[in-house]
Chains A and B, each alone.
Chain A
């Protein structure tokens, strides 16, 4: 396909992206549109960052920085890509920097401490028995450790593929690499996870 046609289709897709339209309204000074974007992407961004750094406080701090950067960049925003690609590119960049700086280690939660003192938006109604909770917790710890041991880029690719259900092409844009490189990253990451978690079936 002709490159210009491809680019044209890309910009058309970006134009039709509802989030990009909201962001353009934010650029025009519409604060309510920023509120809508925050409402829609708050949880996915926080959850992605939480699974990346495995620390709730650090994940929220990083998510705040992500949305702050989005707000501060509104004047120069151009819808050249999907909004979520841009959003997760910022989030991934901050998460990788945080992991490299070791900032989250200061606040590292114990892997067996899934509770938080902070008030939360959702409250679980399920009341499993103590034994069920212990088994679930042990499995959860195993999953968290297995993911935490993945190299950072592989981890980011798996989290975007599994939890955000992103296409290879979008993950490639977020990680600034080729689509085949993403497939390779995912293949190796899942290979490692299969070796560590297959017994949990």
Chain B
């Protein structure tokens, strides 16, 4: 076996051997090599000391309120759209949300566009027409009634006044 210390690429074997990540076959070959290589033995011995020293360094435990603080920060970044659609989340799949939103917009637009046609403006115009009768029209109507009365008197002389 060529000494792994000769290239940095192969020096990884020594690191892997120390950390127990080298496969059994390669580890056996390296151990055989180390029997005749004091430099590799020294490397591995020193690396094992480093490994043990690093093992002693335990990180501080995570604070109990870590999750609560994180969720607070997440809430601060939630958009108005997400707040609006949140109650619908269990009902509408996420990928269908844009489609549902588009459908909602279409329905809203339809309602807004439809509204003027539904408004019953015609009767108002008719009542306005009645109010807007010109005096000559009234005069004509009265004339017509008088003519009808005269016609009745001619046809049925016994009737004094026409039946309205």
A183 to B12 CA separation, bound complex (whole angstroms): 6
CA distance A96 to B114 in the complex (A): 59
- Indicate if B57 sits at the interface (CB-CB under 8 A): yes
Q: Which stretch of B68-76, B116-124, B135-143 is in the interface?
A: B68-76
Across-interface contacts of B87 in A (CB, < 8 A): none
By the criterion CB–CB under 8 Å, are A201 and B49 in contact?
yes
**Interface 0/1 of A41-66, CB less than 8 Å to B:** 01100110011000010001001100
Interface pair A143/B57, CB less than 8 Å apart: yes
Complex Cα distance, B57 from A195, in Å, reads 18
Least CB distance from B60 to A in Å reads: 5
Q: Which of A6-14, A87-95, A113-121 participates in binding chain B?
A: A113-121
Is A86 an interface residue, CB under 8 A from the partner? no
CB distance from B26 to the nearest CB of A (A): 15
User: Chain A, 62-78, contact with B by CB distance < 8 Å: what is the 0/1 string?
Assistant: 01100110011000000
A11 to B53 Cα, complex, angstroms = 38
Size of the A side of the interface (Cβ < 8 Å), in residues, is 52
With contacts A28-B93, A63-B66, A187-B8 taken as known, whether A200 is within 8 angstroms of B52 at the C-beta atoms is: yes
Residues of B within 8 A of A139 (CB): 53, 56
Contact of B94 with A28 in the complex, beta carbons under 8 Å: yes
Contacts of A46 in B (CB 8 A): 59, 62, 66
CB pair B60–A120 under 8 Å, yes or no, is yes
Are A121 and B62 neighbours in the complex by a CB distance under 8 Å? Answer: yes
If A50-B59, A51-B59, A120-B61 are given as contacts, then 14 extra A-B residue pairs at C-beta distance below 8 Å, sorted by A number, are A42-B62, A46-B59, A60-B62, A64-B69, A68-B70, A68-B73, A71-B74, A72-B77, A116-B60, A180-B9, A183-B12, A186-B15, A198-B45, A198-B50
Residue ranges of A at the interface with B (Cβ–Cβ < 8 Å): 27-29, 38, 42-43, 46-47, 50-51, 56, 60, 63-64, 67-68, 71-72, 114, 116, 118-122, 136, 139-140, 142-144, 146-147, 158, 161-163, 165, 168, 180, 183-184, 186-187, 190, 193-194, 197-201
